[in-house]
Structure 1
Amino acid sequence: MNGVRRLVGLTVISVFFYGVNLLWAADSTQPLGGVGLQVVPTVDGELVVLRVVEAGSAARRGLLPGDLIYQVDDFPLTGSDFAKVVAEHLWGPVGSRLMVHFRRPGVAGPLSATLERTLFDRKLTVTPTAGWPTESGKGRD
C-alpha cells in the first residue's frame, strides 16, 4: 500500500512492494506529499513508471507508464536503494518541487520535468497476484 500516515509527530510512509511492506518514519511537522507516480526499480536501481495518478503533478507534466527515471534532482538512481529513493527523494513536504530526469521508449534523448509534491487522500495498493493496481485498491488483469 502506498500512503502517508501521521503518528504522534512522525510521518510514516508505507510502500507495499513485491510482497514486502516497507516503512519509514520521519520526524516531520508537515505532511509529506508525492508526485503521483507508482514505480518499481530496475536491477540497476532506476525506476520504471507503472502508473501515473491523474491528480498528481507527474500527470500534468506528461509522464507516462513505461518512462524510465534515472535521476531525481542531482541524485543519480543507478545503484541506489529503492526504499531510500522513495523515502528521501520522491516523497517530501507538500508544495516542494523536484526534477525528474527520464527516458521514454521510442523517444530520442533524455527528458526532464519539474514536479510539485501534493497531498494525496487516496491510498494505492498493489496486489501482485491480481494484476495492476487501481485507485480502489483492487487489481485488474
Structure 2
Amino acid sequence: MEPKMTIAEMNAFLEAEFPQIDGDFRIDQITDDGCDVTLIVAERHLRPGNTVSGPAMFALADVGMYIAVMSRIGPVGLAVTTNCSIDFMRKPVAGVNLIGKARLHKLGRVLAVGDVLIYSEGMDAPVARASLTYSIPKH
C-alpha cells in the first residue's frame, strides 16, 4: 500500500503530537510496506554490561510500527499498541545506533499487524525481532 505521509509530514506530525520522542529517533525511509527508523543511541539508552537496554529496543520497535501505521492511514494519533512480543537475539553494540526495519503484514479497518527487525548499525544479523499489533480508531 502506498504511503499517505512523507517523511517531512511524519516528522511534523510527531513533533506536534508526540514530542516525548524528539531527538531520539530519525526516520530513514518510508516504503510501500513499512519504514526504517533509527534510534540515536545515547548514554541514557545503555544498561549495565555495556549494551543497549531492552526498553530502548522496545521503544524503537513501537515507534517504528507507529510510524509504519501512521504513514498508511494518515495522522490518526490515537492508534495504540495492543500487543507486542520481542525476541532479543544478540547483544547490540553499545554506543552504536540501532536501525528498526518495520514491515506491515496486514492493515485492516481496526487492526494492523507487523514486525520490526532491529539491527546494530554495521551488523548484518538482527539483534532483536518484535511482532506488534496496533488498534486503529475510527477515522
Shorter-chain-normalised TM-score: which range?
0.3 to 0.5
Whose RCO is larger (CA < 8 A, sep 6+)? 2
TM-score by length of 1: 0.33
Q: Give the structure with the larger helix fraction.
A: 2
